[in-house]
């Protein structure tokens, strides 16, 4: 319950402070820099080194990749009928393809399945972070026009992108050195991720007229909350994945949009209004749809 209250408090604080004029215009940009360059890498250092890999984790591992690929197909299909320009198409893909597997996913999994299953959820979460750091970043760079789209330029930018670098470090260095001494620091910095991300979304949120973006917002919501978990459930049945691994993978696939995906779009000027509406609506609805998915999984798995 405390996590749900925190979501409301942080979002409303950002929204109300923007309305009051206390913060200058563009304040969210400084917050977003902290999230991308400090909080996200810290979250990776906190969770990734402690994961113990096994074959049972295959479906939880590939879940974010499948959801991303499905979102790519959806963005291609909807580009013409929805009249997406290049930036909007990229923005739609990024916020539709990445799920909120940690801040929303972790507390909901703890509530429905117990904290002992968070290690399975962490596998899905870290793959989501990897897709954000690599695939989503490349899409954002190419669509924004702020950087050349050739392989050399994108590779160099990825190597300078802290979340990507930290993923590589967290995968390699634990084989040789212990990360335990820096875990308390990483945990403290990672704890700033979700509150500040929600605060940033609140700062940027402006409902206004939704008519021009209603169709893509609804399409993203249907895909995120219904279609993508259905796809993962089908895969889990096909590969006869273990009961709890199936439940966690499907549950994580049913989460709303990753807040950092909306922040990435804002950083690159990719239709922030559409992105924030999708982030807000899918997160809000996921509190309802996750309960439905819990009962569906209890019946089917």
Which pLDDT value is given to residue 80? 94
Cα 159 from chain centre: 21
pLDDT tens string 9-38? 888 898 888 888 888 877 888 888 888 788
Which pLDDT value is given to residue 230? 97
Q: How does the average pLDDT of the chain come out, rounded?
A: 86
Binning pLDDT at 50, 70 and 90, where does residue 149 land?
A: low
pLDDT at 257 over 90: yes
pLDDT at 263 over 90: no
Which string of DSSP letters, residue by residue, matches 143-174? HHSSS--SHHHHHHHHHT-HHHHHHHHHHHGG
pLDDT at 114 over 90: no
Structure tokens at 43: 């979250």
- Higher-confidence residue of 102 and 17: namely 17
Give the single-character DSSP code of 298: H
Structure tokens at 20: 């009051």
Domain residue limits, the chain: 52-163+211-300
pLDDT tens string 193-224? 778 877 887 887 766 656 778 899 999 999 99
Which pLDDT value is given to residue 8? 78
């Amino acid at each position: 319950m405390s996590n749900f209250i925190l979501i409301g408090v942080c979002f409303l604080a950002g929204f109300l402070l923007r309305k009051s004029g206390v913060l200058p215009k563009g304040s969210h940009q400084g917050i977003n820099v902290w999230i991308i360059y400090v909080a996200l890498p810290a979250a990776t250092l906190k969770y990734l080194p402690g994961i113990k890999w096994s074959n049972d984790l295959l479906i939880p591992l590939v879940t974010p990749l499948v959801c991303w690929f499905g979102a790519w197909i959806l963005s291609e299909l909807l580009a013409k009928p929805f009249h997406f320009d290049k930036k909007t198409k990229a923005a739609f893909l990024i916020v539709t393809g990445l799920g909120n597997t940690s801040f929303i996913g972790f507390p909901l999994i703890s509530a429905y399945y117990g904290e002992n299953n968070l290690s399975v959820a962490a596998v899905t979460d870290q793959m989501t972070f990897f897709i954000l750091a690599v695939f989503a970043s490349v899409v954002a760079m190419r669509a924004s026009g702020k950087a050349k789209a050739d392989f050399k330029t994108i590779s160099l930018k990825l190597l300078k992108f802290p979340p990507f670098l930290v993923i590589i470090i967290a995968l390699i260095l634990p084989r040789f050195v212990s990360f335990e001494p820096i875990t308390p620091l990483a945990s403290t910095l990672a704890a700033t991720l979700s509150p500040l991300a929600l605060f940033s979304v609140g700062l940027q949120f402006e409902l206004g007229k939704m008519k021009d973006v209603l169709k893509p917002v609804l399409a993203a919501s249907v895909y995120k909350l219904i279609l993508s978990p259905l796809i993962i459930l089908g895969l889990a049945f096909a590969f006869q994945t273990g009961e709890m691994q199936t439940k966690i993978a499907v549950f994580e696939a049913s989460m709303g949009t990753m807040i950092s995906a909306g922040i990435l779009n804002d950083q690159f000027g990719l239709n922030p209004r559409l992105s924030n509406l999708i982030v807000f609506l899918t997160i809000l609805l996921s509190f309802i749809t996750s309960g439905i998915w819990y009962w569906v999984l209890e019946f089917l798995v």
